[in-house]
């Protein structure tokens, strides 16, 4: 396989995993899928490091591998066991329309990126298009889910998309990469604590309860 094929395969895999995230309604497999997506991301970044000859990207790949493919999923697993929600099945409404919408989003980002980036080389173009798809799918996931944990996973998959786009565009400054990684970590910690607080108070992590608490309609 040529480097282009590998890169294409991995980036496409990221999008495919995004679709699976969108579809999956149980939490432990959801987290595993996220770990898999992060793994694919780190492989893709490592591949880019090779083709672009930019060893700095290997650090990015390392961060993705250690934190996003291993540490965060492990902590999330512990978290949902702690919260005793690892066996619950989330009621994801309108799976069919959501998947169709996701496909439309991928089409949109392809159409947009292929035109907008006609001047740069083909690998980067593909990467940009896939990255935008991953971002949009993550956002769609956050909108359609009610469980706070799956919203967190959606949020972090958006970040995977951002990293993908940034590596495609001839690498990114290491400062930016680390700061994004740390902000994700901080967001993760804050949201984790926040989850416990919600749980303590409301006995559930369904965000709809928060709305009810605010005096909104149920």
121 vs 211 by CB, closer to another protein: 211
What is the closest distance, in whole angstroms, from the C-beta atom of residue 207 to another protein in the complex?
6
116 vs 176 by CB, closer to another protein: 116
What is the closest distance, in whole angstroms, from the C-beta atom of residue 79 to another protein in the complex?
19
What is the closest distance, in whole angstroms, from the C-beta atom of residue 133 to another protein in the complex?
11
60 vs 147 by CB, closer to another protein: 147
Whether the CB-CB separation of 101 and 143 falls below 8 Å is answered with: no
What is the closest distance, in whole angstroms, from the C-beta atom of residue 124 to another protein in the complex?
19
Give the C-alpha separation, 202 to 132, whole Å: 36
Residues that bind another protein (CB under 8 A): 105, 108-109, 111-112, 115-116, 136, 139-140, 142-143, 146, 207-208, 210-211, 214, 216
Q: How many other β-carbons are positioned within 10 Å of the β-carbon of residue 92?
A: 17
Closest CA to 87 of 46, 133, 28: 28
Give the C-alpha separation, 5 to 176, whole Å: 28
Q: Would you say the C-alpha torsion 11, 18, 173, 112 has a positive or negative sign?
A: positive
Closest CA to 178 of 190, 163, 165: 163
74 vs 111 by CB, closer to another protein: 111
84 vs 115 by CB, closer to another protein: 115
Neighbouring residues of 181: CB distance < 8 A, sequence distance ≥ 6: 63, 67
What is the closest distance, in whole angstroms, from the C-beta atom of residue 162 to another protein in the complex?
14
């Amino acid at each position: 396989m040529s480097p282009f094929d590998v890169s294409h395969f991995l980036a496409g895999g990221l999008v495919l995993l995004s679709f699976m995230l969108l579809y999956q309604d149980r939490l432990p497999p959801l987290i595993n899928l996220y770990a898999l997506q992060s793994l694919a991301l780190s492989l893709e970044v490592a591949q880019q490091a090779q083709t672009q000859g930019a060893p700095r990207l290997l650090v990015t790949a390392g961060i993705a591998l250690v934190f996003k493919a291993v540490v965060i999923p492990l902590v999330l697993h512990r978290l949902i066991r702690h919260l005793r929600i690892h066996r619950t099945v989330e009621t994801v409404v309108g799976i069919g329309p959501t998947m169709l919408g996701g496909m439309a989003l991928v089409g949109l980002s392809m159409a947009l990126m292929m035109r907008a980036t006609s001047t740069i080389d083909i690998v980067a173009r593909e990467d940009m298009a896939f990255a935008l798809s991953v971002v949009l799918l993550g956002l769609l996931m956050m909108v359609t889910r009610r469980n706070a944990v799956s919203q967190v996973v959606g949020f972090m998959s958006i970040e995977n998309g951002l990293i993908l786009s940034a590596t495609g565009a001839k690498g990114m400054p290491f400062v930016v990469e680390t700061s994004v990684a740390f902000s994700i970590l901080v967001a993760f910690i804050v949201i984790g604590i926040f989850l416990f607080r919600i749980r303590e108070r409301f006995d559930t992590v369904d965000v709809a309860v928060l709305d009810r608490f605010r005096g909104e309609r149920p």
